[in-house]
Amino acid sequence: MEGLGTQLLPPEGEGLHRAVQILRAGGLVAFPTETVYGLGADARDDEAVAGIFRAKGRPSYNPLIVHLADAAGVARYARMSPVAERLAAAFWPGPLTLVLPLARAALSPLVTAGLGTVGVRVPAHPVAQALLAEFGGPLAAPSANPSGRVSPTRAAHVTEGLGGRIDAVLDGGDCDVGVESTIVDLSGPVPRLLRQGGIPQEALEACLGHPLETGSDTAPARPNAPGQLSSHYAPRATLRLNARAPEGDEVWIGFGPGCKDAAFNLSPRGDLHQAAARLFHTLRLADAEGRPIAVAPIPETGLGRAINDRLRRAAAPRPGGGDQGEAGNPFA
Ligand code: TXA
Ligand code: MG
């Protein structure tokens, strides 16, 4: 189906039916979740899953999250533990991904990159829910952006980055969380936070009743999660963090009522939910100015942890030097 262009589909009725047909035929459909848009394919179909890696230019060692309509469906693919049940009851449907021991060989091994574990999530977005219910199976879905680039929070972001490379996009408007799911690894002896995201660390710790182990800040040779790849979510421009004012010709992204001179403000009222929801779109707008970007300090609490994580990745030195070149650049 590649080469025929990417269809923009309405997120209900015929549009939804069409999306399900495409998925059943092994195609790729981007769909909204409450966090970011995902690029979906049948997680049991090797060729369909291979298509995700090809469309994104994603390295095959980086496993995909499996999306399911409800927690009851998870047991077919992963082994739930009492801790998993507790987190699922508290946060699903919602922006939490659990890494669990793989239960059976029903999924394409490409989804899990050959690991003995699988990342699973039950998304809350009504369009994702409707799609999963009608499809009736597991959807592998990474964020719907070229690998290493800024994640999409509206349908137009998806077509900017992947237009012509995927079959369809269900247009469900803006994502309201705006940063990806929090990833907790429950496959080891103790729960481990692999990626900060839409469920704050504090909320998970309150539910578990103890502090979470967190990943180290250094990038291991084989990352467990994209939060451990040092450069990720990268705009074209260089990014300077904790900037209390712009320098030179920098585009300044502010946060809170103090940043009156900012070109963009993630949340003039200093609200972290609003800032997370606006983060990726604002990075794209600032990047379109073609100048270096500076970002005001963001509190390291609640959703601020996920925002700061994404900003640090966006500011990290890029592999092969400052410029990643035009290949795979969604802004080009
Ligand atoms: O909010 C989200 O999580 C979005 C929406 C679409 O659901 N998805 C998303 O997928 O952010 P992605 O692929 O961009 O990031 C998920 C990451 C993978 O890159 C991988 O590193 C990690 O989750 N992951 C998946 N399976 C894993 C596993 N078995 N063990 C460790 N990490 C895993
Ligand atoms: Mg991603």
Q: Write the DSSP string, 82-103.
A: HHHHHHHHHH-SSSEEEEEEB-
pLDDT of residue 328: 31
Please tell me the distance from the alpha carbon of residue 94 to that of residue 182, in angstroms, as a whole number. 10
DSSP 3-state of 170: strand
Residue 271: pLDDT band (50, 70, 90) is very high
Per-residue pLDDT for 210 more than 50?
yes
Residue 277: pLDDT band (50, 70, 90) is very high
The arithmetic mean of pLDDT across residues 249-273, rounded, is 97
The arithmetic mean of pLDDT across residues 94-111, rounded, is 95
Residue 251 contacts residue 291 (beta carbons within 8 Å):
yes
196: left (phi over 0), alpha (psi -120 to 50) or beta: beta
Residue 28: pLDDT band (50, 70, 90) is very high
Residue 260 contacts residue 311 (beta carbons within 8 Å):
no
pLDDT of residue 322: 39
* Strand arrangement of the beta sheet that strand 293-295 belongs to: 239-240, 293-295, 251-254, 264-265
**Domain at 7-216, CATH class:** alpha beta
Distance of CA 273 to the CA centre of its chain: 16
Q: Is 148 in the pocket of ligand 1 (CB under 6 A)?
A: no
The model carries a pTM of 0.92
- Minimum mean pLDDT among 45-54, 148-157, 308-317, 318-327: which range? 318-327
Report CA(87)–ligand 1 centroid distance (Å). 17
**Ligand having the closest approach to the CA of 94:** 1
Q: Where are the alpha helices (DSSP H) in the chain?
A: 13-24, 46-56, 82-91, 126-135, 155-162, 201-208, 272-288, 304-315
Q: Where are the CATH 3.90.870.10 domain residues in the chain?
A: 7-216
Per-residue pLDDT for 188 more than 90?
yes
Find the helix packing angle between 13-24 and 126-135, rounded to 10°.
50
Instruction: Report the residue count for the chain.
Output: 332
The arithmetic mean of pLDDT across residues 209-230, rounded, is 64
Q: Is 253 in the pocket of ligand 1 (CB under 6 A)?
A: no
Please tell me the distance from the alpha carbon of residue 33 to that of residue 11, in angstroms, as a whole number. 12
Residue 104: pLDDT band (50, 70, 90) is confident
Q: What is the number of H-type helices and E-type strands within the chain?
A: 8, 15
For the CA of 145, the closest atom of ligand 1 is: 14
Q: What are phi and psi of 131, to 5 degrees?
A: -65, -45
Residue 224: pLDDT band (50, 70, 90) is low
**Ligand having the closest approach to the CA of 181:** 1
Residue 182 contacts residue 306 (beta carbons within 8 Å):
yes
Per-residue pLDDT for 3 more than 50?
no
Report CA(75)–ligand 1 centroid distance (Å). 19
User: Quick one: 321 exposed, middle or buried, by C-beta within 10 A (0-12, 13-18, 19+)?
Assistant: exposed
**Ligand having the closest approach to the CA of 227:** 1
Residue 4: pLDDT band (50, 70, 90) is low
Report CA(133)–ligand 2 centroid distance (Å). 24
